[in-house]
Chains A and B, each alone.
Chain A
Amino acid sequence: AQSVAQPEDQVNVAEGNPLTVKCTYSVSGNPYLFWYVQYPNRGLQFLLKYITGDNLVKGSYGFEAEFNKSQTSFHLKKPSALVSDSALYFCAVRVMFSGNTPLVFGKGTRLSVIA
């Protein structure tokens, strides 16, 4: 069975500081990993995904994520946080070669960037 853990319900960071939103996964096989963001009263918006190749993946709005196979992690990062980054962030996983099975999501982490 696949699962994703986002160990922090809430992350607070000052504007201009680097931010990290943590994600760990558990799958039988190799993973494809995704990050989504949800702004208030909106649907989920795709940020980035790891498929293969370079472990550092760059996505929208200056976000990046690093795949670490030994630690089974896929943490989301940004060098300098903006107040507008305040939102709910979801990590998701699908097993490689599993066809188009639905993504399995974590419970989300609320990021609050304080001016």
Chain B
Amino acid sequence: DVKVTQSSRYLVKRTGEKVFLECVQDMDHENMFWYRQDPGLGLRLIYFSYDVKMKEKGDIPEGYSVSREKKERFSLILESASTNQTSMYLCASSLEGSSTDTQYFGPGTRLTVL
């Protein structure tokens, strides 16, 4: 079974702090994704990565950056957290370059910025 893990289930940070959300997958997947989920808005794509050291902007990249130094790990960085970044953050991975691929999700990190 594919396993996608996220470093924290719940996180509370203060405005202006630098925040790191970590995601690790154990199935040698090429592709990794970060989404945020907000009530009434569904899932919105922040960034994704097709390979190590590669990244692509999603629909809402402002205020975020990412890092992929190793194939299994994809980090989401909030350079200076703001209250409007309070949300549920979901990481996903998928195998390779086929459009039939299923994305597998981690359990999510619920971030609160005070």
Q: A: which residues have CB within 8 A of B?
A: 9, 32, 34, 36, 41-46, 49, 51, 90, 94-103, 105-108
Contacts and interface: CB of A to CB of B under 8 A. Distances in A.
10 contacts: A34-B103, A46-B104, A49-B102, A51-B100, A98-B99, A100-B98, A102-B45, A103-B103, A105-B42, A107-B41
A101 B45 CA distance: 11
A46 B101 CA distance: 11
A102 B58 contact: yes
Interface of B: 4, 9, 30-31, 33, 35, 40-43, 45, 48, 50, 58, 90, 92, 94, 96-108, 110
A35 to B, nearest CB: 11
A79 B99 CA distance: 30
Given A43-B90, A96-B99, A100-B31, A105 B104 contact: no
Contacts of B90: 43-44
- B-side interface mostly: loop
Nearest to A96: B99
A108 B102 contact: no
Contacts of A98: 99
Nearest to B30: A100
Contacts of B101: 100
B4 A99 contact: no
Given A100-B50, A100-B96, A44 B42 contact: no
Contact of B100 (A9, A32, A108): A32
Contacts of B107: 42-43
A108 B42 contact: yes
B100 A102 contact: no
Contacts of B97: 99-100
Given A34-B102, A51-B100, A99-B99, 14 more contacts: A43-B105, A44-B43, A96-B99, A98-B99, A100-B30, A100-B31, A100-B50, A100-B99, A102-B33, A102-B58, A105-B35, A105-B42, A106-B42, A108-B42
A102 B42 contact: no
Contacts of A41: 9, 108, 110
A86 B33 CA distance: 27
